Chains A and B, each alone.
Chain A
Amino acid sequence: MKNLLTMEGVDRATLDSLLDDADEFYEVMHRPIPKVPALRGKAVAMMFFEPSTRTKMSFDAAAKALSADVVSFSPGTSSLKKGESLKDTVLTVKAMGVDLMVVRHKSTGAAWRVAEWSRLPVVNGGDGAHQHPTQALLDSLTLRQHFGTLEGLRIAIVGDIRHSRVARSDAWAFTTLGAEVTMVAPPTLLPPDLTGWPVTATSNFDEVLSEVDAVYVLRVQAERGGASVFPSVAEYRERFGMTDARMARLKPEAIVLHPGPMIRGIEIDAGVADDPRCKVLEQVTNGVAVRMAALFQLLGGSRDE
């Protein structure tokens, strides 16, 4: 593996090996000394051109738990404000002597360009509404921990599919790992064309509720125009919210996932968010473990395979 840019087209063996390694790093995280020297002497650059707190913190924690050094970049105070091009910024950071870049950017494909320019291993930390591969890995790990395997699971992804890089990443990872995925959203929040996606779609949440093993609740993303495409928050909650009433209709062993930050009262009721079957905090912990696995696989091992 040279880069981790997308979940589309990544084969089963690669996913399994990342999740297997993540299991070992999960164990490391629960030791009295939750740190290993695996990436001592390596430097990871956090290139977050779009605001992010939790993803950046998670990558940071992952890099540090592997003993890598971290250099960070914040767009608000950087030379980008002074008119420097993205390419020059990337080459400048590379010249400081970093070994890997984690890139988040509002534009689709940004991480690919950074990989091309930098010739370093790159992890896509989210590019616009396109991909967020480590999110899909942490979601897959959470499902695998709970069910043992994703093989044969039925998973509903509910909400703003159209603007969601999480949905785009999860759809590929979940199906490659053997699950069946149904996208649940109002037509205005589905991508215009689902051809080529390995999923089915419906606008009737209640219809699939009792059949699924997991409900993946997406956040209503006001910053990507998500709030303007449905008439009212109350109506959204009524039809697509993971309410207490819907929770009661799930299979008893089914679980609820959410990428965070949760907006209680809109896409998820407080009672659901606090239910032990809601795995949000496990997802956060697993996020560090899968990011350790990604950094370890990209930096551990010779480049010239």
Chain B
Amino acid sequence: MRSVMSGSDMGRALRRIAHEIIESNRGTADVVVVGIRTRGGPIAQRLAALLEEIEGHEVPCGIIDIGMYRDDIDSRPRIELGPTEVPGDIDGATIVLVDDVLYTGRTIRAALDALADLGRAAVVQLAVVVDRGHRELPIRADFVGKNLPTSGSEHVTVRVAEIDGEDGVWIEGPGSDQGETT
């Protein structure tokens, strides 16, 4: 397993993303940050806290579970569901969806459907810690912590302190350990 982002790299990337969110929305007036379970949840909370720190007022933050919106339920053993909690009315809001890794885009597709069932947002933007490519749907991120070229056989792991006890991004699989001594 090779480290591609340390905890402090991740912290700096999130701070930059927070500034980008403010810049592209000219503030955070209608912004609601919504994390996709599981790791999108704590990352969204951190982004909301950073937005509040920079802009000086509270930014609502929620979490959505996409278990009921998957397109692959027949090929998975069992789908664990988790709570969906999005504060207030999202009609007209600027939603910043947050996830750890952007890969095929299918999770985001499901999350967009889940969001649409909660209300009609004015704008939906996407922030991810890592974009590893290999999209299967026409989806792109608005805010990216790190673009990480990968092969399909590699595995990207994002860890967050709230769940995993540490922050950072790792890559493993054929080729990813070349030249590394671990």
Binding site for B on A (CB under 8 A): 20-21, 23-24, 27-28, 31-33, 35-39, 66, 296-297, 299-302, 305
B119 touches A32 (CB 8 A): yes
Q: List 27 A-B contacts (CB under 8 A).
A: A21-B81, A24-B67, A24-B81, A24-B84, A27-B84, A33-B117, A36-B69, A36-B114, A37-B69, A37-B113, A38-B67, A38-B69, A38-B70, A39-B73, A66-B68, A296-B79, A297-B78, A299-B73, A300-B79, A301-B74, A301-B78, A301-B79, A302-B74, A302-B75, A302-B76, A305-B77, A305-B78
Q: A24-B83, A31-B117 are in contact. Are A36 and B68 (CB under 8 A)?
A: yes
B119 to A, closest residue via Cβ? A32
Which residues from chain A contact B131 at a C-beta distance below 8 Å?
A: none
For B70, the chain A residues whose CB sits under 8 A away are 38
A31: shortest Cβ distance to chain B, in Å? Answer: 6
Q: Are A24 and B65 in contact (CB under 8 A)?
A: yes
Closest to B116 in A: A33
The verdict on A301 contacting B69 (CB below 8 Å), with A27-B83, A31-B118, A32-B119 known, is no
Report chain A residues within 8 Å CB of B79: 296, 300-301
Closest to B79 in A: A300
Chain B residues, Cβ within 8 Å of A35: 117
- Complex CA distance for A35 and B81, rounded to whole angstroms: 15
Q: A297-B78, A300-B73, A301-B73 are in contact. Are A38 and B68 (CB under 8 A)?
A: yes
Main DSSP-derived SS at the A contact region: loop
Instruction: Report B's interface with A, CB cutoff 8 A.
Output: 65, 67-70, 73-79, 81-84, 113-114, 117-119
The answer on a CB contact under 8 Å between A24 and B69 is: no
A301 and B113 within 8 A (CB): no
* Extra pairs beyond A296-B68, A300-B78 (19, CB < 8 Å): A20-B81, A24-B67, A24-B68, A24-B82, A27-B83, A31-B118, A33-B118, A35-B117, A36-B68, A37-B69, A37-B113, A38-B67, A38-B68, A38-B69, A39-B73, A301-B73, A301-B79, A302-B76, A305-B77
